[in-house]
Amino acid sequence: MTTFQISKEFLLNGEEFKIISGAVHYFRIIPEYWEHSLFNLKALGCNTVETYIPWNLHEPQEGNYNFEGFADVKEFIKTAERLGLYVILRPSPYICAEWEFGGLPAWLLKDPTIRIRSSTTNFLSKVDSYYQTLFEVIGPLQVTRSGPVIMMQVENEYGSFGNDKQYLKKLKELMLKHGAEVPLFTSDGAWHEALNAGSILEEDILPTGNFGSRSSQNLIQLAKFHKEGNKAWPLMCMEFWDGWFNRWGDEMIRRNPEELAGEVEELLQLGSINLYMFHGGTNFGFMNGCSSRKNIDYPQITSYDYDALLTEWGEPTEKYFAVQKAIKKVVKNSWQDTPRTLVRKDLGVFKLNRKVSLFSTLSTLSNKVYHPHPLTMEELDQNYGYILYQTKIENKEQIDNCQIVDANDRVQIFADEKWIHTEYQETLGSAFVLPKETKELSILVENVGRVNYGGRLLSPTQRKGIRSGVMIDIHFHHYFDHYPLALDDLCKVNFAGSWQENQPGFYEYVFEIDELADTFLDCSGFGKGIAELNGFHLGRYWNVGPTGSLYIPAPLLKKGINRLIIFETEGIYTDKIHFSKQPIYI
How far is Cα 80 from Cα 69, in angstroms, rounded to an integer?
16
Q: Where are the beta strands (DSSP E) in 173-271?
A: 184-189, 206-211, 236-241
- Ordered DSSP codes for 214-229: -HHHHHHHHHHHHHHT
Residues facing 247 on adjacent strands: 300
Taking the C-alpha atoms of 190, 195, 198 and 203 in order, what is their torsion angle to the nearest 10 degrees? 120
Q: Which residues pair with 376 in a beta bridge?
A: 465
The answer to whether the beta carbons of residues 581 and 346 sit under 8 Å apart is: yes
| Backbone torsions φ then ψ of 313, nearest 5 degrees | -95, 15
User: What's 358-380 look like in SS3?
Assistant: HHHCHHHHCCCEEECCCCECHHH
Residue 406 and residue 385: Cα distance in Å, rounded? 18
- CA 379, distance to chain mean position in Å, is 23
Tell me how far apart the alpha carbons of residues 375 and 387 are, in angstroms, rounded to a whole number.
10
Q: Buried b vs exposed e over 298-329: b needs ≥16 C-beta within 10 Å?
A: bbbbbbbbbbbbbbbbbbbbebbebbbebbee
CB proximity list for 230: less than 8 A, separation 6 or greater: none
CB 508 within 8 A of CB 355: yes
CA dist., res. 42 & res. 36, Å (int): 10
266 is catalytic: no
On whether the CB atoms of residues 404 and 466 are closer than 8 A, the answer is: yes
Q: In what order do the strands lie in the sheet with 519-522?
A: 348-351, 576-580, 519-522, 549-552
Across 326-464, where does the E strand assignment appear?
Answer: 348-351, 354-357, 369-371, 386-392, 399-408, 410-415, 418-424, 432-434, 440-446
Catalytic residue among 239, 263, 265, 568: 239
Catalytic residue among 157, 265, 423, 446: 157
136 labelled catalytic: no
7 in Cβ contact with 262 (< 8 Å) = no
What is the biggest distance separating any 2 CA atoms in the chain, rounded to whole angstroms?
A: 84
- Nearest Cα to Cα of residue 234 among 4, 3, 5, 6: 6
Catalytic residues: 157, 239
